[in-house]
């Protein structure tokens, strides 16, 4: 029993030499792994340092072809314009778009507006109806003049009938006188009647001519109650409404309209520039100009100097210059601000 116990206790003892031998290979592996890791870290640090010093040394992907010198270089900047395309500016100024042909349309007669057929922004043709006035009285006057013409025409017809009868009587009296059946007095009286009727017929014809002219005048006055466009253009302002009174001149304490609308001929637009009189010597007629609207600063408009107004503004010390627009465009509107650059001689805008 004691022997068995001793053997069991001997089995429970720990052999320190055996444990040391069994742990020795594991410690060696750990040391080797640590050395390998340190070596890898060192190699990575050296590679990163080289990459930071020379980024171009980074290897290209395996699937991509090697980069050429042009591909690895910095992007090229836009080449400057050739010397022939660089335009020389001799003077810069600012001005406004103006219309050489613009009209505020009114009526030649005073009347009540019964209809306005236009709105702002509408394009109208020459002769197109813009508005209508109450023309009842003018129409009555035209009918009265036409009736007078009819009365005179009837009078002429009566005179012509009497004249024909008087001529027949004169012929008859002349024949009877040859046969001694009538007297000289009767023949003379018949001749006087013919001459009187001839004169009366001439007077009636003159009267009917006057009456026909009166009809024409009344017809033209009636036409004045219809207001038409004087030229082709665009309506920029509508100044009157139906029910208001329009007249050629202001009356009635300011409640009477003097215009129906304002029309601008867009084909007559040009640029007006005030040039300082100290620099007017740099501007000449026919000179090319590059214009830029304030609304479209990236859009250059070719233009040409039309005229230099031969007078100076004493208050502003400027001379007005008219610049014609070479290329019309619907984006160009009256009263727009514009900047112009007068180009040197021999250059085109």
Side-chain half-sphere of 10: how many Cα atoms within 13 Å?
6
- Rounded to whole angstroms, the Cα distance separating 308 from 324 reads 12
Q: Is the pLDDT of residue 98 over 80?
A: yes
Q: Is the pLDDT of residue 51 over 60?
A: no
Determine which helix (DSSP H) or strand (DSSP E) holds 112, and give its type and residue range. strand 111-116
90 or 18: which leads in pLDDT: 90
Kindly state the average pLDDT of the residues 169-183.
68
Specify the pLDDT at position 41: 64
- Asked if residues 156 and 208 have their Cβ atoms less than 8 Å apart, the reply is yes
| pLDDT average, residue stretch 272-298 | 93
Give the chain's length.
349
| Residue carrying the six token digits 């000179």 | 287
Which positions ≥6 away from 290 have C-beta within 8 Å? Answer: 87, 89, 300, 301, 302, 303, 340, 341, 343, 349
The whole-angstrom separation of Cα 56 and Cα 74 is: 12
Tokens of 323: 């610049």
**Within a 13 Å sphere around the CA of 95, how many CA atoms are in the beta-carbon half?**
26
Structure confidence by residue, pLDDT tens digits, 223-251: 999 999 999 999 999 988 999 888 887 55
Tokens of 332: 């160009």
pLDDT at 169 over 60: yes
pLDDT above 70: percentage of residues in the chain: 69
Bridge partner list, 318: 276, 313
What is the structure's pLDDT at 162? 87
């Amino acid at each position: 029993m004691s022997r068995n116990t001793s053997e069991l206790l001997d089995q429970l003892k720990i052999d320190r030499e055996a444990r040391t031998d069994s742990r020795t290979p594991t410690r060696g592996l750990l040391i080797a792994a640590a050395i390998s890791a340190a070596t890898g870290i060192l190699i990575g640090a050296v590679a990163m340092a080289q990459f930071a010093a020379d980024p171009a040394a980074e290897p290209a992907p395996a699937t991509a072809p090697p980069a050429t010198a042009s591909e690895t270089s910095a992007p090229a900047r836009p080449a400057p314009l050739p010397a022939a395309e660089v335009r020389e500016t001799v003077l810069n100024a600012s001005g406004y778009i103006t219309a050489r042909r613009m009209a505020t349309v009114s009526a030649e007669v005073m009347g009540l507006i019964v209809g306005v057929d236009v709105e702002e922004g509408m394009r109208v043709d020459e002769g197109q109806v813009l508005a209508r006035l109450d023309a009842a009285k003018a129409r009555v006057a035209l009918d009265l003049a036409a009736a007078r013409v009819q009365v005179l025409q009837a009078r002429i017809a009566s005179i012509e009938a009497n004249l024909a009868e008087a001529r027949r009587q004169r012929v008859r009296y002349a024949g009877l006188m040859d046969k001694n059946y009538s007297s000289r007095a009767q023949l003379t009286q018949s001749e006087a009647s013919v001459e009187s009727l001839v004169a009366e017929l001439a007077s009636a014809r003159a009267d009917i001519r006057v009456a026909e002219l009166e009809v024409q005048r009344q017809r033209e006055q009636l036409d004045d109650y219809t207001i038409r466009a004087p030229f082709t253009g665009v309506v920029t302002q509508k100044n009157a409404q139906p029910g208001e009174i329009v007249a050629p001149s202001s009356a009635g304490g300011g409640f009477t309209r003097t215009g129906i609308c304002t029309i601008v001929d867009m084909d007559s637009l040009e640029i007006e520039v005030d040039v300082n009189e100290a620099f007017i010597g740099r501007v000449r007629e026919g000179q090319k100009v590059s214009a830029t609207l304030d609304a479209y600063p990236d859009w250059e408009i070719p233009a040409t100097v039309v005229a230099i107004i031969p007078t100076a503004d004493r208050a502003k010390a400027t001379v007005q210059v008219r610049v014609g627009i070479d290329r019309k465009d619907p984006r160009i509107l009256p009263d727009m601000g514009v900047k112009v650059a007068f180009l040197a001689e021999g250059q085109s805008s």
